[in-house]
Chains A and B, each alone.
Chain A
């Protein structure tokens, strides 16, 4: 993993850490689709969120609940909780891989109340219905359908916001992060893993070359990703 960053609300706001070199994850640094102020002024919507939600519904019906890649990412994210001395009684898990986060949490971070949120109702339902081992049952878990770009959580109510492989689909990543920050209490922790940078570079190149050859032009085939 190139850099999986965490920031803490407080004076020391951002400290990316680097670990051994995998190429699939990048830190959640600013990703602006425009040259504006970097806040919520992105005019271009890269992702059709409505369609994305349908895709995630479909993924919920079809997916293998134990994907080793996703598990590795989730494990790596959750591992950071063990680096913190602080405990996080109230946590929000944003969309993406909510199920592995819940399954692999194993009492880390001292979480007492956990909110699982995704834009897809079926994904949330799947997570709600999934059987869990005894260790996680002590956590009060609730489930809501919500959009991380329009976070339905009141200000200063969370100790931890965690997102595993979900934020790379937001149109307004800075906006989503600002809202997470507002929802966090002072000294709360934001922990996220996203796909970024040169992920699937080979696929992107192959699609471009093939399309140039066959159709004489190119169109985007692979989602644009955040750069570190």
Chain B
């Protein structure tokens, strides 16, 4: 079947098998390997991307379901050379180690800040609780999101 969707602001059309998962479409068909594949069961969240602006686990979304919709991945987070504050925050606060869960984490955290620009630590923890990081122990991820929140508040002043 043929699918057409907007991925990171660019329209793409591809011929695919109906059963193809969105994560494999992004990684194998489009070569956007920043989105990862970690568990198959929607538990780990390394595959989180946005579907029409909402974080989804792309290992349990068919590529066909994204037909006619808009997808954003970690590759679409920065604006050209300018990093998103969430990306800056993860670097500044050591919010990543191996970097495997990081793209999914950042997509969720960006979505959180878009809805709630000044989240509490508890709200940040709640937002990322559907995702697993095996390296950081989460405190530095919480700090990373706080960093981005504070930074954005300053920029917007």
Tell whether A and B belong to one assembly: no
Interface on B for A, CB 8 Å cutoff?
A: none
- A residues with CB within 8 A of B: none
